[in-house]
Amino acid sequence: MSTPKILILGAGYGGLLTALQLQKKLNYNEADVTLVNKHTYHYITTWLHEPAAGTAPADHARVELDGIIDKSKINFLKGVVESIQPDEQTVTLKDKRVLSYDYLVIGLGSEPETFGIEGLKEHAFSIRSINAVRQIREHIEYMFAKYKNEPERTEYLTIVIGGAGFTGIEFSGEVADRIPELCKEFDVDPSLVKVYNIEAAPTALPGFDKELVDYAMDVLTRKGIQFRINTPIKQCTPEGVILATGEEIKAGTVVWTGGVRGNSIVEKSGFEVMRGRVKVDEYLRAPGYDNVFVVGDCALIFNDQGRPYPPTAQIAVQEGENCGSNLVALIRNDKMTPFVPALQGTLASLGKGEGIGIVGQKKVFGSTAALLKKGSDLRYLYKIGGVGLALKKVRL
Ligand SMILES: Cc1cc2nc3c(=O)[nH]c(=O)nc-3n(C[C@H](O)[C@H](O)[C@H](O)COP(=O)(O)OP(=O)(O)OC[C@H]3O[C@@H](n4cnc5c(N)ncnc54)[C@H](O)[C@@H]3O)c2cc1C
């Protein structure tokens, strides 16, 4: 067989870690590996709530691929994937270039899940990329500036965060931290600013330990977040949101964090999906295609109780590493290793110096949780870019 061609779509947690594993384990010319990504950089999605609120610059969450990829082992192609033709073993890019492969890795991440709520797609922002968070930050600032020119329009100072899951809670913490600074910069009376977090489920952070949820809500309420739990949003309009109760909340900014589904390219390419995610086999392969691997938010895996694992960076990283190792095994005619997630815990930030989480069996709160989260961020940066990258990006 000629040199096998491996094509990796997406340089997020799953795709990048697949590429880095191949880079580490493959000998020169053992495979022809190409990584395709929309941008020349990888972004730390788990930090995006900070630049979205404006508490950190967007560039901070961005890592240039040039600095972490060994070009003698991995070809990098900047391009936007349009479709996959698994029967022909080809991928078409937006500019109509067609790429062929022997092995494909799909790591195209997620899209907002709007649950059919009218107007969300059109009128709400979502925290999903460097470009998206730049726009959210600018929009909030623009709304403050606009209010100063139309002081009767206090709704410009209202921010609605749809969803009190992980992302919604982390974003709420950052927004709360940013408000005093914005009020000072734009000469705005802080009592006029309102930040609502609206959640349809009967609790914030569904699935989390009650003590941790109570702690998070208490911290955020004290920081000024107004929670509306058990309150579905029925519609999003250019003026704000309408709740299932019929109440309208007028808001200059609506940010939807209520859930994600797998990238729609996967479904459009004919793969069988559930909420956009492919139910993969034990080696992360798509049903019916032994040469197509799916990692990260596009992949659906289940725990022992038959419940789907939520899409997380932690799992995406582990899947990428497993997928890279299994590709090397395949090329060398060795045995592949089934994927089994090794969950190390979950940590959520609640703004500067505050957090909650579970590490092993232990619950952690406050500055301990915040510090542990920084530690886990550092470990990830070290993994992808060594000490240099970790030191460059660390913010205490
Ligand atoms: C604000 C926020 C906070 C979070 N916090 C945590 C946390 O604390 N812990 C945790 O475990 N998880 C967290 N998550 C979830 C986590 O970020 C995702 O599960 C993870 O990013 C999934 O990795 P992935 O590789 O599937 O996709 P991504 O990391 O989203 O990467 C997808 C890549 O594909 C590229 N791409 C997309 N479409 C195309 C296309 N058509 N053509 C070419 N390239 C394309 C994108 O540019 C991107 O580089 C958080 C998410 C958010 C939004």
Contact 195, 179 (CB under 8 A): yes
190 and 103 share a domain? no
238 and 126 share a domain? yes
Q: Is residue 162 part of a domain?
A: yes
CATH number of the domain residue 218 falls in: 3.50.50.60
What residue owns the CA closest to ligand 1's atom 35? 10
Range with the lowest mean pLDDT among 189-193, 337-341, 386-390?
Answer: 386-390
Q: Give the pocket of ligand 1 (CB within 6 Å).
A: 10-15, 36-39, 45-46, 48-49, 80-81, 107-109, 127, 166-167, 170, 263, 265, 296-297, 311-314, 316
Q: Does residue 170 have an active-site annotation?
A: yes
> From the CA of 232, how far away is ligand 1's center (Å)?
26
pLDDT tens readout for residues 264-293: 999 999 999 999 999 999 999 999 999 999
- Atom of ligand 1 at shortest range from CA of 52: 1
Mean pLDDT in residue range 147-168: 97
> From the CA of 13, how far away is ligand 1's center (Å)?
7
CATH number of the domain residue 316 falls in: 3.50.50.100
pLDDT tens readout for residues 1-59: 689 999 999 999 999 999 999 999 999 889 999 999 999 999 999 999 999 999 999 99
- Structurally, the chain folds into a number of domains equal to 2
Mutate to test the pocket of ligand 1, among 312, 315, 376 (most ligand atoms within 8 A of CB): 312
303 and 326 share a domain? yes
301 and 185 share a domain? no
Mutate to test the pocket of ligand 1, among 45, 212, 275, 293 (most ligand atoms within 8 A of CB): 45
Percent of the residues in the chain that have a pLDDT greater than 70, as a whole number: 99
> From the CA of 237, how far away is ligand 1's center (Å)?
27
What residue owns the CA closest to ligand 1's atom 41? 81
Within 10 Å of residue 261's Cβ, how many Cβ atoms?
A: 21
Alpha-carbon distance 57 to 170, whole Å?
Answer: 16
Contacts of 242 (CB under 8 A, 6+ apart): 233, 234, 235, 236, 248, 249
Average pLDDT of the chain, as a whole number: 96
Judged against a pLDDT cut of 90, whether residue 95 lies above it is answered with yes
Within 10 Å of residue 386's Cβ, how many Cβ atoms?
A: 12
Residue 14, domain extent: 5-38+79-112+260-343
Between helices 130-149 and 166-186, what is the axis angle to 10°? 40
Its pTM stands at 0.96
